[in-house]
Amino acid sequence: MRVGIAIDVSTDISHEFLVQNGIYVLPSTIHMGDQSVVYDRDPERAVAFYRDHLADKGPASETTPLSVKEIEDLFLRRLVLDFDYIFLITLTSARSLTFENAHKASFTILQSYTQVRAAHRVPGPFALRVVDSQSLFTGPGVLAWEAARMVKAGHTPVEIRQRLDELAPRTYAYLVPHDLQYLLTRATARGDSTVGYFSYFLGNALQLRPIIRANRGTTRTVAKVRHHARAVEWLFQHGAAQIRRGLLVPMVGISYGGDPEKLKAMPGYEALASMAAAHGVELMLSMMAPATAVNIGSGAVSLAYCARDGGDFEG
C-alpha cells in the first residue's frame, strides 16, 4: 500500500525533510495589495517574501487557504492516483480553515475517486484521513515527522492513525514573537485576544516578550520575559528540560521568522543541541512559513515537541 503524507502550508518543517519523504504541501495564497502570490514551502520563495514583502505589505496582507473545490480537484487530479492512503495533517481546526475545507472535500473525494482510478488503471481502494493537529507553527511538523517515520518502518494506516490521534493532544508548540506591535495589529484584525492592548503597552514599556503555547486547540501566554533574546533562551532551556524528562517523539521542531541558521547563534541553542544529541533527539530547523509570518511578523521563534505533559515552564 502506498501511504502518503500531506500538510498545511503553515506547518513549519524543513524543505529537505519534505523532499526526502515525498510530503505534499497544500499551498495558500497571500494577498498583498493588488498582488496575490501562491506560496508552498519553497525556501527561495520564502526568503524573497521576507526580503521584499513582509516589512512593507505584511500588516495589510491576507491569506487564503485552498477552497473545498480546490482541495477536491487537487486530490482527484493527482493524489488519489499517487497514493492509496493519505494522512493530511493540518493546523488546529480552531485557527485554520484548511481542516474544515479538507474535511468537507473528503466526502466528494471518497465518493468520486473510484472512477478516476479506474480511468487510469489504478487498482484498489483509496482512503483519506484529515488529522487535526490541535497545534500551530512547528507543532504539526512533529506529527508529520512521526508519520513519515512510521510509513518508512512499514506500519499500517490504522497504526499510524491511532498514533497520531494519541499524539495530537500531547503536542506542545511555543512561540516567542519579536515585534509586538506587528503581532497586536494582526491579532486585532483577526479578533484574537492572545496579546491584548494592556499586555502590548506593558511589554513595550518593560521590553517584555510573551511566550505563547498552543496545545489542544487553544493558545495562552505561559511566561513573560524581559528582552527577546532572553525569552528565546528560556524557550530553549524549556526544550532541553523536556528532552531530559523524555519525549514521546524523538524530534524537536524549531522555526524562525527569517534565516533559520540564525537560530544556532541564539542564547541557549548550543545547550539545547547538546541535550538533544545526548538523548538521540533530532532538532529540525526551518524557516517560518510566509503564511504564518503574515500574522506573526519576522524574527519570531517557535519550538514544538510531543510529551506526556508540557510541564511547568522552566527558565
d(CA 80, CA 22): 15
Q: Domain 170-306 carries which CATH code?
A: 3.30.1180.10
Q: Where in the chain is the domain with CATH 3.30.1180.10?
A: 170-306
Which CATH class, in words, describes the domain spanning 3-169? alpha beta
Q: What is the grid cell recorded at 87?
A: 494522512
Give the pLDDT of the chain (315 residues) as one tens digit per residue: 899 999 999 999 999 999 999 999 998 888 777 777 777 788 888 888 887 766 655 556 778 889 999 999 999 999 999 999 999 999 999 988 899 999 999 999 999 999 999 999 999 999 999 999 999 999 999 999 999 999 999 999 999 999 999 999 999 999 999 877 766 665 555 555 555 443 444 445 446 888 999 999 999 989 889 889 999 999 999 999 999 999 999 999 999 999 999 999 999 999 999 999 999 999 999 999 888 888 888 899 999 999 998 766 654
Q: Where in the chain is the domain with CATH 3.40.50.10170?
A: 3-169
